[in-house]
Structure 1
């Protein structure tokens, strides 16, 4: 479930772009402004836009859940990073894949269904291959992606991926939430390094 939450959280840029592309609320700015009616408001375009708003709100909720959990009860005691490699460059490939999704025709029911099916299929692929962390949305939110080694291979194995809010360097201690066997959501611990 954490993987799905992280995937939805990572798609906020796509949802904002689709929202801008599809939201159609006819507005009259004269003195005779009237309600356009539910039929016009709930057109196919607007249903896609409202679903995008829903997913954006879900992504915000998941973001706050992860951060709240890290502050309150992370999955274990802080762990020291012994070796670290910044892998933020992996964002670009997924971004190009996601941009191609915007080419769908959202004016038709078929286009809207196809858009959500492609997102579902991409989600399944990225979760199965554990590549759901490599998304440019995280870069805009101030996250960094690292491949790390620790002295605690029974908890975080060598080569595991850390998604961190803010920069982390070697010998920093981190609080973490386990997302999958090799992917962790973390933040720098407030415990001083020795």
Structure 2
């Protein structure tokens, strides 16, 4: 039974949820930005900049959320630096990388149908995103993150050879940047109950 500490707290999970919305936020920004480009004009005054910001408050919010999510991604990459538990030998494996697409198709793509032309529609979208986020955090779906897939992360479920103390029992979810195969030995870092970040262990041949 694995007893290593859990590294993913609720705040980081919320940040990973924001990261998963990158595609939605970028598309909202592109669809709603309203700025007239003028290469021969003088620099805008502070009042003009404020007017532009108020006119484009929704794209501005999207940019802020995108920047915040980048900060959480940096925090996530720092968390997964210390994958040292193990090595553990994989004896069963199933590729779950398609879960990224399932999350995208189930939760993100349908939200693009919101017009966002009125305050009522914007409030409805915010409430919908909040409810999805609550489910996302409570059910530990932070690993099924389409943005992580774009950044080169993969998902698989595995079982390990039970040959000593501290080996995770049952099925474990691995987040990895490498291709994990059957009989591969991995070092891991526990992110949540049965969710781990893994990298291939260095095997020194005698």
**What is the TM-score normalised by the length of structure 1?**
0.80
Contact persistence 2:18–2:65 (CA under 8 A): yes
Q: CA deviation at 1:34?
A: 4.6
**What residue is the counterpart of 1:90 in the other structure?**
99
Q: CA deviation at 1:142?
A: 0.9
**What residue is the counterpart of 1:167 in the other structure?**
179
Q: CA deviation at 1:10?
A: 2.2
**What is the TM-score normalised by the length of structure 2?**
0.76
Contact persistence 2:88–2:167 (CA under 8 A): no
Q: Aligned to 1:182, which of 194, 200, 204?
A: 194
Q: Which runs of 5+ in 2 are unaligned?
A: 1-9
Q: CA deviation at 1:11?
A: 2.1
**What residue is the counterpart of 2:121 in the other structure?**
111
Distance 1:168 1:153 in 2: 22
Determine which structure has greater relative contact order: mean sequence separation of CA pairs < 8 Å that are 6+ residues apart, divided by chain length: 2
Count of residue correspondences: 188
Distance 1:66 1:23 in 2: 30
CA radius of gyration, larger in:
2
What value does the CA root-mean-square deviation take over the aligned residues?
Answer: 2.7
